[in-house]
Amino acid sequence: MTQETIVGLLVSVLEFGTLLYLAALGETIAEKAGVLNLGVEGMMAVGAMASFWIGAETGNPWLALLFAVVVTAAFSLIHGLASVVIGADQVVSGLALTILGLGLAAFFGQSLALTTVLSTARFSALDLGPLSDIPWIGETLFSIDALSWLALSLGAVTWFVLTRTRMGLSLRAVGESAATADAAGTKVAATRLTAVAIGGGFAGAAGTYLSLVLSPGWSEGATGGLGWIAVALVIFGAWKPGRVLFGSLLFGGLIALGPRLQTFRCQDGEDIACLNFDADPTLVSMLPYILTVIVLIILSVRSRNRPSIAPAAIGLAYRREER
């Protein structure tokens, strides 16, 4: 295995990590407000299709990003209206959003399937001059695209807002006990709808990353289950932006590693490292879910004598006058 292969792998880890982090961060915000949104996969597809369309039309990736974020946020409000305003079951409504999103993206994306997007319409690697020339770090961290850095800063902002501001306090309170937050003068429905829309916007950004960075282009089924991994990541990360970041890189690493495993066989004259085992890549792609189940078990055991770490009101609709 050469340095080149390893750098290639690390870049791929960062790219998958960025995509997962954007989507999982948005889902964290929605779930912190008590709304489980299983529509991530569908929202991501809508975002990917929308951004690729505008990217192909205008050649401007930032415009494409903005459009995808707005469209996906609006799309996510279907789930918001159903579950928050009408009080429908969040699981059913979220699943419906995934199915609807995949369908809409496939339908509106039909004409885009064969289009190629100009290289100017993509988010390309940053050139930070001498920084990017540093071996290892420069070739990976300082050669990544602007959206990755944006994702990282969004993570920091999310952490700050959730833990250090009135807005965050209200949002978390709504997710722990809507009746309590209501009695304390917080606007429950507005807070939850906002959280869902922000989550939708983040999923739209993740979709943009998919179609304009990771694998430029659009085709039906492009999301390939990444949205579901993002949902699992929120649990893996215990609803904490920092841990979700760690989980995103870990899961991103597993996804990036899967297809490469076969090429890492020992060959004559290998100089750095080689692996000599016959791992089936599908086994590796199962690992995120297995890890999530293990973390779930650890969290449940840990919370036997104390309140659970999950937002307590997740999945529960709130009606003020219900007796």
Partner 1 sequence: MTAVELEGIWKRFPGVIANAGASLSVRSGTVHAVLGENGAGKTTLMNVLAGVYAADDGTVRLDGVEHQFANPAAAIAAGVGMVYQEFRLIPTFTVAENVALGAAPTIVAKGSIEKQVAELADRFGLATEPGRQIWQLSMGERQRVEILKALWRDANVLILDEPTAVLTPAEAQELGRITKTMSSEGRSIIFISHKLDEVKAFCDEATVLRGGKTVASSLSVTDLDAGRMAELMVGEATAVSQRRVRTTAVGNTALSVENAKVVDVHGRAVVDGVSLTVGAGEIVGIAGVAGNGQRPLADALAGLTALEAGTVTVDGTDLTTSSPRDRNAAGLAYVPEDRLGVGLAPRMDAVENAMMRNYTTLGNGFFIDRNAASNQAESLIERYQIKVGKLDAPLAGLSGGNLQRLLVGRELDGDPKVLIAAQPTRGLDVQGVAAIQKILVEQAAAGVGILLISEDLEELFALSDRLLVMHEGMISNDFDPDTATRQAVGAAMTGA
Residues at the interface with partner 1 (CB under 8 A) = 164-170, 172-173, 176-177, 179-187, 304-307, 312, 320-321, 323
Residue 184: φ, ψ to 5°: -85, 5
Nearer to partner 1, 60 or 180 (CB): 180
Q: Which amino acid is at 111?
A: S
Q: What is the DSSP letter of 126?
A: P
Nearer to partner 1, 115 or 180 (CB): 180
**How far apart are CB 184 and partner 1 at their closest, in Å?**
4
Nearer to partner 1, 186 or 219 (CB): 186
**How far apart are CB 306 and partner 1 at their closest, in Å?**
6
Measured CA to CA in angstroms, residue 102 lies from 27, 109, 186, 207 at distances of 18, 10, 35, 12
**How far apart are CB 155 and partner 1 at their closest, in Å?**
19
**Which DSSP helix (H) or strand (E) runs through 186?**
none
**How far apart are CB 176 and partner 1 at their closest, in Å?**
4
Nearer to partner 1, 118 or 183 (CB): 183
Dihedral class, residue 268 (left if φ above 0, else alpha if ψ from -120 to 50, else beta): beta
Nearer to partner 1, 30 or 181 (CB): 181
The answer to whether 56 and 121 are in contact (CB under 8 A) is yes
**How far apart are CB 175 and partner 1 at their closest, in Å?**
9
Q: Can you give the length of the chain in residues?
A: 323
Can you list the alpha helix ranges (DSSP code H) found in 33-58? 40-58
Nearest residue to 200 via CA among 314, 109, 103, 97: 97
**Which DSSP helix (H) or strand (E) runs through 185?**
none
